[in-house]
Structure 1
Amino acid sequence: MIGIFSIGRARRASRRAKRTLSPTDWQIAADAWHRVADSLPRSARVWVQYGHALRRANRSAEACGAYHKAIALDRDLVGAWVGLGIAWKAQGARSSAMDAFTQALRLDPNALTARNELLLYGGRSEQPEPTHGRLAMADALAGLAVSLRETRDWQRDFNQASLFPLQDYAHFRRLNWVPAPEAAASIDFTVLIDADAATPVQLRATIQSLLRQTHGEWRARIEAPQALREHPVGSLCHVDPRVRFTDADREEPEEPTDWLLLVEAGTILAPDALGWFAWTANETACVAAYCDHDHVTLDWKYGPIHHDPVLQPVYDRHWFADAGVRPAALLVRRSDVDGKADLVQMLARMSSCPVAHIPQILASRLADASPPRPTATPVKDAGGTGGEARIAVIIPTRDNAPLLSVCVRSLIDKAARPDLLDIIIVSNRSAKAETHALLAELKRDASTTVLDFDEPFNWSRANNVAVQESRAELLLFLNDDTEMLSDQWDALVRSDLVGPHPAGMVGALLFYPHGGIQHAGVVMGVNEGGPEHEARWQSNDECGPLARWKRVRACSAVTGAFMAMPRTLFDRLGGFDEANFIIAYNDIDMCLRVRESGEIVLYDPRITLIHHESISRGANLTRDMVAWDCGELEALHRRWGQALFQDPGYNLHYTRQGYPFDGYRHPAAAEVEAHIRRSASDHPWAVSRVE
């Protein structure tokens, strides 16, 4: 009887906690369920409820213990495995969390919470059953009359079912075919094939792929040594008069075409490749165009095996500085080619011209022993680059003395020129004695200013006010819970903001204190929600697709935990929006305004920090906090509209559901065409507001 009364009290406490979402109320519920567990120690379901309450009270380690006791009593209890996975996730134990979610799905393939958690955590490949190609589900969607809620659930599952895990690329590639739209006018190509270092097999593959093109208005010119000309592969020039070798010993007549397609021998063009390039040249004002590609291993018996896709972003000169991701096929105007064309150098010269990106896998490079690998951007000596621009480092804080001390000391110790730093600490109603003692100590340094900000918390306003305390040319907005790891970080910031190709905003690579990436840029348009950090929860040494998390590149936005920009641009944009973004999304709004002005937001992983943000951030928000966050997200959407769902650096072939980059999808033809048109603008990374 005691147990029954205790269960009733515990259930009432849990219902109250669910209404408020308050950690304090969940603590009360946890205490109540603890008493029940003491009186009913053999009830697995009681231990599950106790675990749920502990987890929501921010006691994840204890929650794991409760779930383990439940599992020991009943290994088939799906709720225990799901709760255990969420508790492990809150502690950053990625592998253990994925194992728990996977076990829950083995017990119940319809455990949607486990499946969704696994997908959001980057574990698509860990699911115990295939998640793509379910044609029966498509039939059910078309033929069943179900309620609106059921339709939404089925539609979400169908969207997941149409995705392909990363390890199933070969299957995805076989089904990936979007026919080229009809070009409005005739386009005649000259295909320049670089075969100087090619084998006969490579040249044969390229020529034969040209002979299979659906767009027939082309001619091919091959640059090759004499030995290759005399090889039997040279007979293909007699098979089709459109194919011939160039003669280095005599002056070649000028090609009558306006467009040149540059490829290397060993590149196999998809049958519709020239058709897509023709449509792009007709429909946009581009001076150049490139496509996605992959690598292929040919097997005479089983056919081509496609692998290692290179799914490109919209044009970014930083990205294409690496020859490992150079396009396999580049369309350029004949007038822009002077002498022998080098794809990497040519792309670098086009930073101020409209360059179209065709998000279709239109080429495949023959693989030798191994495909060429992109490399992370090397750390260069930035000393002296950017002159002697002063940097104002603005750090809002409130009673966070231990972390603030580490933050400031690490900045100074790691700086190349600490004498060029103006450190401005914005103390927002700090009350603890240890905080005031630290601030008094820091103020003894002439380069450090402590600004008392006696107003209710407003992150945007606090930073705006602090900017007025310094005349520094560069501004760095920094969280007080960060610790700098990179030597000469300030020289890198100057190089990025004042160098030969200056950015409008610079962000950094952030790690969790106990390991794992917290931020590697921000990606838009995933999961139909707000902006998400790239690479969250991945291991520190994980490079990401095409080494993107370890290379300098343009991105949609960066976190306000570390964001640097020129003062002139900050003033021109009017600072942070104090009225609409008091707590959240102020950094995203600023990045979008930087892009709106035509400037680039740059992610620089050479600058690394530890960020002591909670791994379980957001798990314990109260109902009022959730409503506030949604209100600021609504304001962001009201201002920027579709810009929140379009990311120039996130290829259309990557999943929009679950963890970013965790699977492949087939974009619709209309989606591809719209992307091409946007990419061919003068400022493809720019956005427009809807207000």
Structure 2
Amino acid sequence: MPASGAEVPEFQPLPAQLTGLWRKRRDLAARAASDGLRVALPGLAGRWVEIVLSNDPAEGRDTLPDISFVGPDGRPGTVLPQEARGGGAFAWIGRLPEDVVALRVADPAGRVPVRLRRIAVHRLARPILAARGLLRDPGLTAQALAWRILGKKVRARGFLGRALRHRRVSGYEAWLGTHSLRRAERDGIAAEIAAWTDPPLISVLMPVHNPDPKVLRSALASLRAQLYPHWELCAVDDASTRPEIPRILSRAAEADPRIRVLTRPENGHIARATNDALGMARGAVCAFMDHDDALTEDALYEVARALRRDPDLVLIYSDEDKIDGRGRRFDPHFKACFDRELLYAQNYINHLTVVRTEALRAVGGLRPGFEGSQDHDLLLRLTDGLDPGRIRHIPRVLYHWRAAQGSGTFSDRSLARAEAARLRALEEVVAPWGGRAERGPGGFNRLIRPLPAPPPRVSAIIPTRDRAEILSVTLDGLLGATDYPDIEVIIVDNDSREPETAALFARYRDDPRVRVVPVAGAFNFSDLSNRGAAAATGPVLLFLNNDIEVLEPGWLAELVRHAVRPEIGAVGAKLLYPDHTIQHGGIVLGIGGVAGHSHLGVADADPGYFCRMVIAHEVSAVTGACLAMRADVFAAVGGFDAEALKVAFNDVDLCLKIRRAGYRIVWTPFARLIHHESKSRGAEDTPEKRKRFEGEVLTMLDRWGPELRADPYYNINLSRNSAHYRV
């Protein structure tokens, strides 16, 4: 939420109304505030309602607004999960809190939603509640009714709330039902394009070699169906032997002058055929398209729109999904904004890829000899040294990747050759600065960065209070099972009293690598960590919980390789629970209102969403339970906030300050440790702890509201109920 005194945007009143069975419709007071729109809810505390927010469908895409309840203190609570109803409408259904006074509605940037046209609050009578519950989940509703008959009102409300929020259609199928273009949107796009002066020409490059005639016709049809008319198809028949293919291409060219065809006398494979298509291109940018895939009808419009907004863009890419022979869409890939670290390991950019023509020609197009990974090789060379500001991700599914028998998408015959080509492509890019490429988990690239010689001292800062039995495991692992030559351990002792702790400290008294810094007072992780950093002598700081267990000797060297990079502000590790499920796979902003751990509870062996858990990649934040960074960066951003964030979210706050200072943050799976989370401190299970935690939540919302609603590494189409990368 913006700070008090922030400018309140101009607000045009919109209908906000209360309706209900046997009640007249009445208006609700709505006013603009610095953090969005506030709608008063007088007399509705503790009532069952359905809240429906309606956008104007003629003004563009469905944009999910944030809604939260406002209590007597005027502060909004956690963002509520909603379901899309289609036609620009979103809804929440449930029982209002007993102390609610208003509803806050905001766009992802914390402002009044400009497309919002109506807010309706429907008060639901008991017969309506029961009927809706039975339609959505008869089993849960029956349990709710049974508990109500037995007089267990609270338990009945819980079951009924779950029943009402149950969606009969879920997953990607449901998502597609609410994210397709409507007639009003198509008309709006056509009018927008007609008003453009000098619209950019987009050259679509399509190498063709013996596709199924049916899917080739489908690919061509998806081009002709584009809402954006300013395109040309540069199709190159790479000596197809199926007689239907030349006929299909020839007829398409005769029917549409935007389609041009070149026929190669001999098969040269995909790189040469694509380069021939590049030679034909007359457009400002080139879009890559396989001969058996399809574009969404708004694909090229979205590309042209991005180019008009930022003419300096060199690379544009979109989300994608797969499509089978029956036209069923599945397996969507909702991607992150540009992530160089992730691109080193895998070609996550993939489809739809659009490159400025002059830049594509400047790097020599695709390179023969890298078949199977020719696109990845191109992107590595193209983005090497390219300003990320000239790369744009469009968070919309604009491309359907064909998953059909015989499609190269799912062929294993050339897998080994493709992996070798991918490794060679990375090696050529990173070798000049000492990087080394090797085969990583799942066949993806692993980049081994050089460790400075000599390796810098690492000052490990461990706040603790008693619990010697777990601290000893951490110290033994750090000092005895870690392969790193220069480690300084600073134990920040917060009023330990137990004799076992004193004995443990005595055991390390003569070890020159270990120092104990006593700090009295209430537990304050931020203050303890700051004091430890002040006592450190190493150029690299490692903030480490006292309940960490080392699994592999090379974990610290892996963290240091990233931490010493001048563009990196912090690096985090893969932390596991004792049962070897994931406790920390990076932090995703906005989960549960503030932030949550990625892939929480997923098995260590699970590669994660598009193999995220086995690949180093950029994130917005990492946990302070194991966080490495340079001491100069820590000092420059002011360290941890020991006043407002004593226990929770101080690591997220630190990372956001690091990113604001212009640094990037990396998470790596090649530093694996066990984290016995909160074992030494306990859970937030007392009134005092809960009050402190609630205050820390409000601090984060006040300080970082817009950032928490827009994590660049977590696609806006994914659910914010958990960080499991689901729609």
User: Does the C-alpha gap of structure 1 residues 538 and 617 become closer, same or farther in structure 2, counting only changes over 3 Å?
Assistant: farther
SS of 1:210's equivalent?
Answer: helix
Corresponding residue number in structure 1 for 2:349: 326
Partner Cα distance (2:646, 2:498) in 1: 24
Matches of 1:225 and 1:134 in 2, distance apart? 43
Asked if 2 retains the 8 angstrom alpha-carbon contact of 1:328 and 1:363, the reply is yes
Distance 1:156 1:364, change over 3 A: farther
Deviates more, 1:282-291 or 1:241-250: 241-250
Match of 2:620 in 1: 556
The equivalences for 1:226-245 within 5 A come to: 226-227=239-240, 231-235=246-250, 236-245=252-261
1:278 maps onto 2:311 in alignment = no
Q: Contact 2:580–2:604 (CA<8 Å) still a contact in 1? A: yes
- Tell me, in whole angstroms, the C-alpha distance in 2 between the residues paired with 1:146 and 1:496: 55
Q: Does the CA contact (< 8 Å) of 2:203 and 2:284 recur in 1?
A: no
> What are the residue-to-residue correspondences of 1:219-618 with 2, within 5 Å?
219-227=232-240, 231-235=246-250, 236-246=252-262, 255-285=281-311, 286-299=313-326, 304-323=327-346, 325-338=348-361, 339-341=364-366, 343-344=375-376, 345-346=378-379, 348-349=383-384, 350=386, 352-369=388-405, 371=409, 375=442, 381=448, 384=451, 388-417=455-484, 419-499=485-565, 502-527=567-592, 529-613=593-677
Does structure 2 conserve the Cα–Cα contact (< 8 Å) formed by 1:267 and 1:328?
Answer: no
SS of residue matched to 2:340: coil
- Matched residue of 1:639: which SS? helix
Equivalent residue, structure 2, for 1:173 = 176
Of Structure 1 and Structure 2, which has the larger fraction of its residues in helix?
Answer: 1
> Is the alpha carbon distance of 1:172 and 1:638 closer, same or farther for their aligned partners in structure 2, counting shifts above 3 Å?
closer
Q: Which moved more, 1:541-550 or 1:196-205?
A: 196-205
Please say if residues 346 and 445 of structure 2, whose CA atoms lie closer than 8 Å, have aligned partners that are also in contact. Answer: no
Greater displacement, 331-340 / 597-606:
331-340
Residues 458, 539 of structure 2: 8 Å contact kept: yes
CA drift at 1:556: 1.8
Give, as a single letter, the amino acid of the residue that structure 1 aligns with 2:464. T
Aligned to 2:199: 187
Q: How do residues 676-687 of structure 1 correspond to structure 2 at under 5 angstroms?
A: none
Contact 1:289 1:355 in 2 (8 A): yes
Q: 1:426 to 1:252 in 2, by over 3 A?
A: closer
Shifted more, 132-141 versus 260-269: the winner is 132-141
Q: Which has the higher contact order (CA 8 A, sep 6+)?
A: 1
Contact 1:164 1:663 in 2 (8 A): no
Offset, 1:145? 4.1
> Residues 618 and 159 of structure 1: is their aligned pair in 2 closer, same or farther, counting only changes over 3 Å?
farther
- Count matched residues: 524
Deviation track 1:236-276 (CA, whole Å, cap 9, x = no partner) reads 33332212235779998774432222233323101111111
Deviations 1:164-201 (A, max 9, x none): 533xx345335532447435444233334242666354
Distance 2:529 2:490 in 1: 10
1:395 deviates by 0.7
Tell me the distance in 1 between the aligned counterparts of 2:680 and 2:292.
48
Question: Does 437-446 or 348-357 show the bigger shift?
Answer: 348-357
The answer to whether the Cα contact below 8 Å between 1:222 and 1:244 also exists between their aligned partners in 2 is yes
Amino acid at match of 1:340: G
Superposed CA deviations along residues 502-525 of structure 1, whole A, max 9, x for unmatched, are: 421111111111332111111222
Q: Which runs of 5+ in 1 are unaligned?
A: 1-119, 125-130, 665-691
8 Å Cα contact 1:404-1:481 kept in structure 2 = yes
Structure-1-length-normalised TM-score: 0.68
CA contact (8 A) 1:376 1:547 kept: no
Q: Match of 1:360, SS?
A: strand
Calculate the TM-score normalised by the size of structure 2: 0.65
Q: Secondary structure at the match of 2:695?
A: helix
- Counterpart in the other structure of 1:632: 696
Which AA in structure 1 matches 2:496?
S
Query: Are the structure 2 counterparts of residues 319 and 194 from structure 1 closer, same or farther at C-alpha, using a change threshold of 3 Å?
Result: farther
- From the superposition, tell whether residues 153 and 220 of structure 1 become closer, same or farther in structure 2 (CA, over 3 Å): farther
Residue 217 of structure 1 is aligned with which of 227, 230, 252? 230
211, 216, 232: which one aligns with 1:199: 211
Match of residue 128 from structure 1: none
Deviations 1:58-96 (A, max 9, x none): xxxxxxxxxxxxxxxxxxxxxxxxxxxxxxxxxxxxxxx
What's the CA shift for 1:134? 11
Corresponding residue number in structure 1 for 2:430: none
The 8 Å contact of residues 575 and 582 in structure 2, kept in 1 or not, is answered as yes
The residue type paired with residue 334 of structure 1 is T
Deviations 1:201-258 (A, max 9, x none): 4544432221111111111112442236973333233332212235779998774432
C-alpha deviations, 1:298-320, integer Å up to 9, x for none?
Answer: 23xxxx01111111111111223
Work out the CA distance in 2 between the residues paired with 1:372 and 1:421: 47
Q: Which amino acid aligns with 2:333?
A: V
- 2:108 maps to none
Quote the offset at 1:375 in angstroms.
Answer: 4.7
Identity of aligned residues (%): 27
C-alpha contact 2:322 2:332 (8 A) present in aligned 1: yes
Q: Call closer, same or farther: CA 1:247–1:423 in 2, change over 3 Å.
A: farther
Q: Secondary structure at the match of 1:477?
A: strand
Residues 621 and 652, structure 2, Cα contact 8 Å, conserved in 1: yes
For the Cα contact (< 8 Å) 1:287–1:353, is it kept in 2? no
* Residues 284 and 558 of structure 1, relative CA distance in 2, 3 Å threshold: same
- 1:138 deviates by 6.8
The change in CA–CA distance for 1:497 and 1:233 in structure 2 (over 3 A counts) is farther
Give the corresponding residue for 1:41: none
Distance 1:308 1:378 in 2: 23
Determine the structure 1 residue equivalent to 2:111. Answer: none
Work out the CA distance in 1 between the residues paired with 2:461 and 2:667.
19
Cα root mean square deviation, aligned: 3.8
Q: Check whether the contact 2:587–2:596 (CA below 8 A) recurs between aligned residues.
A: yes
Post-superposition offset of 1:378? 5.4
Post-superposition offset of 1:437: 1.3
The alpha-carbon deviation at position 457 of structure 1 amounts to 2.5
Distance 1:334 1:210 in 2: 19
Equivalent positions of 1:107-146 (< 5 A) are 144-145=122-123
Q: Do the aligned residues in 1 keep the contact of 2:459 with 2:490 (CA within 8 Å)? A: yes
Closer, same or farther in 2 for the Cα pair 1:482/1:170, shift >3 Å? same
Give the Cα–Cα distance (whole angstroms) in 2 for the partners of residues 545 and 163 of structure 1.
Answer: 24
Letter in 1 for 2:499: A
Measure, in 2, the Cα distance between the counterparts of 1:652 and 1:376: 29
